[in-house]
Amino acid sequence: MLRFALGRLIQGIVALLVVLTVVFALARLSGDYATLIAPPDASAEAIKAIQVKLGLDRPIVVQYFAYLGDLFTGNLGDSLSFGSPVSELVGAALPDTLVLAGVAFVFAVVVGVPLGLLAGTKSGGWIDAAVRFLALIGQSVPSFWLGILLVFMFAVNIPILPASGQSGFLSIILPAIALGAFPLASVTRLTRSAVLEVIGKDQTLFLRAKGVGRARLAWHTLRNASLPVVTLSGIQLGNLISGTIVIETLFAWPGMGQLAIQAINNRDYTLIQGVVIVNTVVFIVLLFLIDISYGVLDPRIRRGRD
């Protein structure tokens, strides 16, 4: 297991280096970085001073290794619009995004997995049709439209939940539902498909022939159908963390999405770069944890066999 985990860790580090290199290259290929961040009426001397301050006057190779060195020591630079270290701004915003994404993820998994299991075990019936119909709607409705609808229903017409801001647990319900609707539908559909595949296998038919109880049979089915569901759930969690911009803006939720919008509006390229890098690191860590969970759930994977 240790060898398997070490191999996946090396792959994750390589992927992270590739992404960091791409971010570095894109920042330089988009034009003169100093000119981009300087005020529109900045003089040539002022732009030159910015280049010297940020080290942009050095050779590109030196800039690259200095960039990597700063990142691995936690230095993401200083925000041009806030005047504070990017690491502090991201560190203050990331927990709020993680809370929102975490609640949306729990909502998607806790509701989606049982619905998919129910639909798979009742394949062909009205329950299966109803679940598939709801899942199709969940994947078709844009999150921002669903968010507006939820605000209209439960904050305007029936004012039982706050429409925006962060003021306790009730304030997270509407944005979490709007954010978690799409992954819920995806988890439901994939769980149903995986359950149908497991039900048709010989070992499941053998357990049925032996007269195994429903609870044990459901556990066997869900355990054997868990690998694709775990993969999708992990990827969806990464998407939730990195894709909260619209929902956070709609519900005025103070997180990474709001921070990214402010950075874009202020042309704060250092802060934008920091947000992208942190989101990438979080996503790669989640993929690493998914690989490890694969090895735990199926020993054949960590032994290198399919």
Angle between helices 143-151 and 170-199 (to 10 degrees): 130
149 band by pLDDT with thresholds 50, 70 and 90 = very high
257 vs 279: CA distance, rounded Å: 11
Note the pTM of the prediction, 2 decimals. Answer: 0.80
140 vs 5: CA distance, rounded Å: 37
CATH, range 92-269: 1.10.3720.10
174 band by pLDDT with thresholds 50, 70 and 90 = very high
Average pLDDT over residues 120-147: 88
Nearest alpha carbon to residue 173 among 190, 191, 155 = 155
115 vs 127: CA distance, rounded Å: 9
Nearest alpha carbon to residue 162 among 246, 289, 253, 271 = 253
Task: Locate the domains of the chain by residue range.
Answer: 92-269
Encode 229-259 in three state secondary structure: HHHHHHHHHHHHHHCCHHHHHHCCCCCHHHH
Q: What is the pLDDT of residue 211?
A: 65
Identify any residues that bridge with 78 across adjacent strands, giving them in sequence order.
Answer: 85
Residue with tokens 């042309």: 267
Give yes or no for a contact between 183 and 104, defined as CB atoms under 8 angstroms apart: yes
Q: What is the pLDDT of residues 238-258, one digit of tens each?
A: 888 877 888 888 888 888 888
44 vs 150: CA distance, rounded Å: 52
Q: What is the pLDDT of residue 105?
A: 92
Task: Mean pLDDT check: name the lowest of 17-26, 51-60, 196-205.
Answer: 196-205
Identify any residues that bridge with 85 across adjacent strands, giving them in sequence order.
Answer: 78
Q: What is the pLDDT of residue 265?
A: 83
